[in-house]
Structure 1
Amino acid sequence: MNYSKIDALRLEKEAEDDIRVHLTSLTGTLCASDSVTNHEMAKLIGDFLPILGEGRPSIRGMVALPLHVLGSEIGHSDRYAPAASTHLLWWIAARFLDDLTDQGCFKISDGDALRRIFASFSLINHFAVEQIRQLSIHDTQKDLLLRELARGWNDGVEGQFRDLNAQLGSSTIESVMASYRGKTGAPYGMAAAMAAALGGCDLVRIAEWRDFGIQLGVLRQLANDQLDLETERFEDLKNGVSTLRIVHAVQRLSTRERDEFLSLANAARGSGEARIELTRRLRDRNTAQEYEEFISPFFEQARQSLTKFQGKLQHITALHRLADQAAEICFPISPDNKRRADEEIGHPSGASASHGAPGQHPIPDARN
């Protein structure tokens, strides 16, 4: 592990600590008001703070993206905080709504759920907006940040609607990817574009960074799909989610095999035995290999996107590492990722190294 990498990791840890302090302060301000809405928003943020304090790589990645985008553009990361805090506020609101949709339904009499729904919308549509308006930056930059916030929220909602409307039997690879680009790609695109705007980039450059952020978000969604199977949480199978891995497996089957597979997937929503059998089929050597070959270009495309940014090497390298973290989950036995994992812990390629117990990975959850 070289010095620049150690320095980048130190910057990320310090940034995460700073954002936690900032959000804690915001929570105190909200609690001190006499507004019921502010109190409910404070509860949402307060519930998230312990997670932020755990140092989860998934959360750190949300902070690291704008940190290193800005650093690559201007050589330092002093202005990253508005983009990083807005990114986390987005996820604080979205994670509850996402959990709610995963449950399938809730009773209208569930007062706590209703309060959190209203608070989630206020957090993005009012509180995050006001936080941007109060920044001591040029009005043009404020306008750019507000546009990215609106775009990210709307595109994220679009992705969730696509996810909700999806039926496994009729889902296509194209429809699943459109959902991924929205529900997970859009907020990452927002964070990257905000950081670029704070760095004084022009609209073309901002759009390029937004595109990279969307790509990174999709990679982290693919990693999340993989972890859901590896850790045997099976949340996607229980909720009947049309993940890319399942849809890809379906589309390679004959008509008879397809009907049987879809019947098994439907049964997996309520049957542990069906989930185990479905997972076994997804892990079939040929099925898994074809899936890995299909998603591999997505990772290469993200890495190639970074070549157009001739910024500070330390920060560009750190952005590559965010993509590599997702790759290490999606391609656990790849020689390239074995080499990267060895380098991550300081061992030369091919040396004996412990990679932790099964299920222990750099990105616990792309959404939570």
Structure 2
Amino acid sequence: MSSELDRLSEDHPSLAAGVARLVASDGSVNSPFRLLAFPVLGALTSALDPALPVVVISRLWWAGAETFDDLADADFDEDGAGLSNAQAGIASAACLSVVPQMIIERQSLPDRLKAAWTWEFNAGSVAAAEGQFRDVSAAEEPGSWAATMRIYARKSGAPYGRDAAMTAMLAGADDEGIRGWRMFGLLFGVLRQMANDRASIAVAAEEDEDLANGTWTLLLAHAMEDAGAREAQTLGALHTRVKGDVSARSELRRRLVTAEIAAGYDRRVEAVQRKLLALLKSLAEPSDQRDLIQWMVDVSAADSLLSDLAGAA
């Protein structure tokens, strides 16, 4: 990352400094799950180092995406990042688009592979943008589990799908293998978002950003489908009030983490986990690196379960 930013600073020193500040202030650096490309390549070729460009590109993209999200929520820490909102907006746009594309172009790879990486990167970014757009639109009206799952697969799954597919291309996988790894990444990203959702539920209702923003989560979609008509109507009415009403957030939270709702939701989490592990076994032979990917899946699933929070709102 430092090497790429040094190269960028040769002609664009101010932008490179802004991007470096975003990367340094992005807390997702502490997440091992964003390093998925390494064990994927290791599981396919036993080599790790060639996946470094994919990880760097992904790291830049996530720094841009997290910053853009904070700016949209008026939650960007100007002092902590050392950037104004305007500067952060420009740097995040560069992280989401042109800087990763420049890194791809500079790689010593066959032109065909670089073209495939460029297409995959752009397709993943557009899919994530589509998911985010649908996410903010879905907050205005109820969504089914299937519809909300599609949103999650785009907004959170597409970046992981992109990384897994780009890595499979690097390993020389055929079209079927690339599609398989892309699907694995999509589902894994959904599971990671479910783990993030669970972390939000673990805090006080007034501090829950999903509730405050009126986000239509998979948990809410599950509860709406699992509840009777009267309870679903109550949940929907509470959801319409959460943005400006702390008491509505607390009541909605209480209704979402009942033992019955949590148990049903956990079964859905475990179904996603089973699909991921079955797909992983079909894509990679047994190895330490495949075991590491399985660990990522298992930990993410465990971090998504709600039963231990039931009744604790």
Q: Which moved more, 1:241-250 or 1:251-260?
A: 251-260
Shift of 1:78: 2.0
1:320-351 Cα deviation digits (max 9, x unpaired)? 011111111122669xxxxxxxxxxxxxxxxx
The structure, 1 or 2, with the larger RCO (C-alpha pairs under 8 Å, 6+ apart) is 1
Match of 2:262 in 1: 288
What residue number does 1:100 align with? 71
Partner residue of 1:154? 126
| Structure 2 unpaired stretches of 5+ | 76-82
2:111 to 116, 139, 144: 139
In structure 2, what is the equivalent of residue 26 of structure 1? 4
The answer to whether the aligner puts 1:229 opposite 2:183 as a matched pair is no
Residue of 75, 81, 88 corresponding to 2:52: 81
> What SS class does the counterpart of residue 136 from structure 1 fall into?
coil
Q: Which has the higher helix share?
A: 2
Q: Compute the displacement of 1:100 (Å).
A: 3.0
Deviation >6 Å, runs of 4+: none
Per the alignment, do residues 252 and 169 of structure 1 end up closer, same or farther by CA in structure 2, a change over 3 Å counting? farther
- Give the Cα–Cα distance (whole angstroms) in 2 for the partners of residues 55 and 159 of structure 1: 23
Residue ranges of structure 1 left out of the alignment (5+ in a row): 1-22, 105-110, 335-357, 359-368
SS of corresponding position for 1:79: helix
Amino acid at match of 2:58: H
Change (3 A) 1:312 1:71: farther
**Percent sequence identity over matched residues?**
29
- Partners of 2:246 and 2:96 lie apart in 1 by 38
Work out whether 1:46 is the aligned partner of 2:31.
no
The aligned amino acid for 2:21 is G
The 8 Å contact of residues 266 and 307 in structure 2, kept in 1 or not, is answered as no
Deviations 1:46-92 (A, max 9, x none): 2322546x962x2x2111x1001100111121201011111111111
Would you say the 8 A contact 2:191–2:272 is kept in 1?
yes
Instruction: Give secondary structure in 2 for the equivalent of 1:116.
Output: helix
Secondary structure at the counterpart of residue 200 of structure 1: coil
CA distance in 1, matches of 2:73, 2:144: 20
Cα deviation for residue 247 of structure 1 reads 1.6
Question: Quick one: distance in 1 between partners of 2:306 and 2:215?
Answer: 23
Q: Deviations over 1:339-367 (max 9, x none)?
A: xxxxxxxxxxxxxxxxxxx9xxxxxxxxx
How many Å separate the matches in 2 of 1:274 and 1:331? 24
Match of 1:68 among 39, 44, 49: 39
Give the alignment's TM-score, normalised by structure 2.
Answer: 0.88
CA shift, 1:189, in A, is 0.4
Q: What is the distance in 2 between the residues matched to 1:332 and 1:237?
A: 16
Task: Decide which moves more: 235-244 or 286-295.
Answer: 286-295
Q: Contact conserved, 2:148 with 2:216, CA < 8 A, in 1? A: yes
Aligned AA (2:189): G
RMSD: 2.4
Describe the SS at the equivalent of 2:267. helix
| CA deviation after TM superposition for structure 1 residue 312, in Å | 5.0
